[in-house]
Structure 1
Amino acid sequence: MPLVALLLVAYLLGSIPFAIVSSRAFGLEDPRRYGSGNPGATNVLRSGNKGAAITTLIGDCLKGWLAVWAAQQLGFSAFDAALAGLAAFLGHVFSVFLRFNGGKGVATALGVLAGIHGGVALTCLAIWLVVALISRYSSAAALAAALGAPVAGLYFLDEQATIGVLSAISAVLIWRHAANIRRLRDGTEGRIGDKKKK
């Protein structure tokens, strides 16, 4: 399989909006119509349906991991596999099925990291959990984990190009959280577990 074809398939895989798929499966309202409007697990949780939120989280993580794993199984290099993960991540953020307006990409990024190196993924997950438990802000936890990903990459990975992919994912994550950063600064950011608002 040519690399271009791999990246296209990975992008389409990443574009699957599990927040919307799981919401429909559980008979819930479209997550883009309440809370933050973000089609992601945290916003689905605001519906009060933990099953739908967990399904969304698992689906979004798996598509990131699957893109990297499939590339590895097909014999692509570690860097090419990381690029496939990046393509899946960008598919989630800029989903072709949602008119190129997808989610923030936190869960999909975690799946990509797990495919690249378990140590990087576990480090970022630990950062997310600690910050989330202390602050109860999912966005603050995501930002901290995003900043930690390239640093963890420097420790666990040897290939500089792959660390560059981690840096690109982190940069997009931070950019996608620009509105959250403003709300955190203003004290208006919603906390984990808050119920949905129209």
Structure 2
Amino acid sequence: MTTIPYTPAVEDRTSSLPLRLLLAPAGTAPALLDGAWWPRSRDLTAELPALTAVLDPLWGRITHVTVNPTFWPTSPRKVPVAGHVVGVGWFKAEQDPHKLLLLSYTVGRWDLLVVPPETSPATAARLMAEAADPLGTLTASALMNEAEQRRIAEETELSLVSVWDSEGGHGASLPTSRSPHAVQPGAEGA
């Protein structure tokens, strides 16, 4: 599995930055997801041209894309891309909100996990690798839920360490053989 570095030739807002895409290895058995895409924004008009420019030669001309509008503030009906137009559809109840479905008349369909643009690089890398794993059995939402649970656990652990440190736990010296609560000989009546 390799990330596909790509800088679009068409001038747009993301032209100076490489496409963040990881696909399952070619020729592997179909899984629930065919890879992952980490867009830089939630603007399909700005993001789709670079994605389709990379996928068209690999998968055949992408003709339609569907999304769940939950995480896309605007969903245009059509997006112009290099030499053609990609139709955009949206399905709120029927489609996983964390998935982008790509269709090609000549080849078929692909499902990509959409990693939210605000995701940290470490989490995004982990999510992309899991989504591109041909043995993966989790849906896009299940991967995102797992990542959220991991984030919460890490924040909780950091919070506990912070409390421990603030209460002297990290910098405190280890107790000696004399406990502060032990009664010292000759101190009983003093």
TM-score by length of 2: 0.30
**Which structure is higher in helix share?**
1
Question: TM-score, normalised on structure 1?
Answer: 0.29
Bigger Rg over Cα: 2
More strand by share: 2
